[in-house]
Structure 1
């Protein structure tokens, strides 16, 4: 959304898009079964535009996305929080909505028609694209609506469409778990992963179920539950092997990607043999895939496996090995999120070798590519604090400026 529309209310955005399309209030109101007087009140903020089904109908009539009306409402939180600079309150509310506890409670305020699945697929793709391009604010502004609408679809759609609805609900839960883990909200990420896995199991799709297994493994690892993460990886890998089809690139990618956090969890538990075994299996699957790909937003392929070899080496304390491996990894073609996460591992390695200037240079390069990820990611925030605690870091004005941009000082 362009700057001049960022501060418009949802009703004012409806008016802007309507006028831009040369449409009268009478015509637009008629297209959605409303009166011209009602639409006038909406556009002039004299009536609330707060029902997603109505927003959806307006968006369809105007040929725009729901988010073009809702807007990117995420506002950075000011202050020196050591956790994150984005407010995740609306995501928390969507994940812990009491109406999700029972269909009986949800039915009291149910919309007349379930959300169309084709539009939810588009919304999911937009959220995942925002995540992979490290546009955290955009993702967090859109995620609450996606969580609520996919949950509603999974409750309300007819049997013929129910599996697709559960698939979308599962992947919405996964997207929430992914971003919340990055922001250090590990308990809420666990809730999102559990919710996503429950929906995934109803799809009877091994790729979707495997994708949510991966989210649960990440959530366990981020909570420090390494034994549980290792056990989950082992059981999930066995489950996927029973369904493995080497002609299905999505399933191959899911299986390979699932092994990567398992390898890191094993390395953090000082289990070198298991970490090496998982990485070797993942490497074989990447070779079978043939090239870097992004099936089901996995960014899986040979490069991602090499990235995780660096992560595992750092977890095992093999800093020289990590620094030897890193120069041979080209991340230019990967999604920004993956490339910048690799940069953070390099920063950690440089810090471990007291190469403070190299660490700062890598951080600044990563910030240029993905400022929101660097400013909000729990790992980057911890690294900047560690670097500022070093003698060279305390003298660096450049590092101090970065810390200010991250609201750490």
Structure 2
């Protein structure tokens, strides 16, 4: 089979962004290497696309060294070089239009027939079931969210019980934030997370307030504010703790408490706080044991999700050997979430790429694609892993790497 030589700028991805910002700041590769504690060879390899900067802590240090934001480095402008790499743009635009109208009830409008609060609440629950249960959740929810969010705002503005309306609205904002975070559209996801928290506070619902903090922490992490994300999660957990002191705590609150600690563990790992990350993960593990076999319907917090986050912590800490070893022991089929199962496979592929095991990496990515085409196609990490695999061009992996890169729009068909 003939080799394909994709455009070098397409393969470099994040590396080309790093090089551009470094040159604009007047920083040499030698200077950058010294500032971030890496070798000149490592910096050169990343900029040339021969390896990817797989740890967020590295990107944080690089951004600080060259005077830019992390999002400037992990943006996806190169993806537009290939056709079809901005999926569901119309869906995002439709959601954006509703988000921009949301602060003014008059702009949302009142339909002739008001939606019933119970009906909208049930549709929010259905949306979460779709998110965790469908391999095409991104596509399916993209078509549903604009109307769901509009109806939730209408219920909030017109319901006799404003707190009940606020609870439904908080749920609608939460599933919208989840979708936007994975598309991804970071700015809109941040707005949705903030609106979810505002609605939760109005509802005076401790469970929704905790989930609001969990959602906001993801936006802080995406923006490179790992310490703030950790503080936010732990502050929200502190609010919940007094409610968990009795012998039979509310299961929703217990799940939220555990999920906050999992999110904080990821933030700590991204900040290279090894000991703290595992201490937080251990608290979450205790909460999962107390829940037994139950899983939270929105966050999917439970014992399997705790195990998945343990693998993710190792991945964020750059421990490729531990990632691969743990992946062999995990029973991911026990976790009732397509998105969570796909994520652990992507992290496993990340470990194989770090170890130079290209054939194993692409086989795991193909497994992930089988679980959720949407998650693989929209993952920036998958794009970076494939760029590195394309650049290395190992013969035994080549056919499958090129085929997957075409399917997700990374190289032209």
* TM-score class normalised by the smaller sequence: 0.7 to 0.9
Q: Give the alignment's TM-score, normalised by structure 2.
A: 0.74
Change in CA separation of 1:78 and 1:123 when aligned onto 2, cut-off 3 Å = farther
Inter-partner Cα distance in structure 2 for 1:375 and 1:261 = 24
User: How many angstroms does 1:241 deviate by?
Assistant: 1.0
User: How many aligned positions are there?
Assistant: 326
Gaps of 5+ in 2: 1-78
Cα distance per residue 1:239-267 (max 9 Å; x no partner):
11132264321111111112111101111
Equivalent in the alignment of 1:369:
371
Query: How do 1:75-114 residues align onto structure 2 when only pairs under 5 Å count?
Result: 80=82, 84-87=86-89, 88-97=92-101, 100-103=102-105, 105-106=106-107, 109-112=109-112, 114=114
User: Secondary structure of 1:359's partner?
Assistant: helix
Contact 1:356 1:387 in 2 (8 A): yes
Is 1:186 aligned to 2:190, yes or no?
A: no
Q: Which structure carries more relative contact order (alpha carbon 8 Å, separation 6+)?
A: 2
Contact 2:177 2:215 in 1 (8 A): yes
Q: Give the alignment's TM-score, normalised by structure 1.
A: 0.75
Inter-partner Cα distance in structure 1 for 2:282 and 2:99 = 36
Change in CA separation of 1:395 and 1:259 when aligned onto 2, cut-off 3 Å = closer
Inter-partner Cα distance in structure 1 for 2:168 and 2:85 = 29
Cα distance per residue 1:9-52 (max 9 Å; x no partner):
xxxxxxxxxxxxxxxxxxxxxxxxxxxxxxxxxxxxxxxxxxxx
Correspondence for 1:283 among 257, 282, 285? 285
Equivalent in the alignment of 1:339:
341
Inter-partner Cα distance in structure 1 for 2:282 and 2:395 = 38
Cα distance per residue 1:208-243 (max 9 Å; x no partner):
111111101111112211121111112111111132
Equivalent in the alignment of 2:312:
311
User: How many angstroms does 1:112 deviate by?
Assistant: 4.5
Equivalent in the alignment of 1:51:
none
User: Secondary structure of 1:202's partner?
Assistant: helix
Equivalent in the alignment of 2:271:
269
User: How many angstroms does 1:394 deviate by?
Assistant: 10
Change in CA separation of 1:134 and 1:91 when aligned onto 2, cut-off 3 Å = farther
Inter-partner Cα distance in structure 1 for 2:331 and 2:81 = 36
User: How many angstroms does 1:400 deviate by?
Assistant: 0.8
User: Secondary structure of 2:318's partner?
Assistant: coil
Inter-partner Cα distance in structure 1 for 2:274 and 2:84 = 32
Equivalent in the alignment of 1:43:
none
Equivalent in the alignment of 1:145:
147
User: How many angstroms does 1:146 deviate by?
Assistant: 1.0
Inter-partner Cα distance in structure 2 for 1:294 and 1:236 = 20
Equivalent in the alignment of 2:166:
166
User: How many angstroms does 1:339 deviate by?
Assistant: 0.6
Contact 2:170 2:208 in 1 (8 A): yes
Contact 2:362 2:397 in 1 (8 A): no
Change in CA separation of 1:297 and 1:271 when aligned onto 2, cut-off 3 Å = same
Equivalent in the alignment of 1:234:
234
Inter-partner Cα distance in structure 1 for 2:83 and 2:280 = 36
Consecutive aligned runs of 4 or more in structure 1 exceeding 4 Å deviation: 81-84
Contact 2:156 2:166 in 1 (8 A): yes
Inter-partner Cα distance in structure 1 for 2:220 and 2:282 = 22
Cα distance per residue 1:294-347 (max 9 Å; x no partner):
324221111111111111111112222222222111011322111111101101
Change in CA separation of 1:323 and 1:377 when aligned onto 2, cut-off 3 Å = same
Equivalent in the alignment of 2:35:
none
Inter-partner Cα distance in structure 1 for 2:363 and 2:272 = 30
Query: How do 1:8-407 residues align onto structure 2 when only pairs under 5 Å count?
Result: 80=82, 84-87=86-89, 88-97=92-101, 100-103=102-105, 105-106=106-107, 109-112=109-112, 114-132=114-132, 133-135=134-136, 136-159=138-161, 162-244=162-244, 246-291=248-293, 293-334=294-335, 335-392=337-394, 396-407=398-409
Inter-partner Cα distance in structure 1 for 2:395 and 2:326 = 26
User: Secondary structure of 2:334's partner?
Assistant: coil
Inter-partner Cα distance in structure 2 for 1:230 and 1:206 = 19
Change in CA separation of 1:201 and 1:83 when aligned onto 2, cut-off 3 Å = farther
Change in CA separation of 1:225 and 1:84 when aligned onto 2, cut-off 3 Å = farther
User: Secondary structure of 1:317's partner?
Assistant: coil
Change in CA separation of 1:408 and 1:150 when aligned onto 2, cut-off 3 Å = same
Contact 2:117 2:159 in 1 (8 A): no
Inter-partner Cα distance in structure 2 for 1:380 and 1:164 = 40
Inter-partner Cα distance in structure 1 for 2:372 and 2:87 = 15
Contact 1:173 1:196 in 2 (8 A): yes
Q: Which has the larger radius of gyration?
A: 1
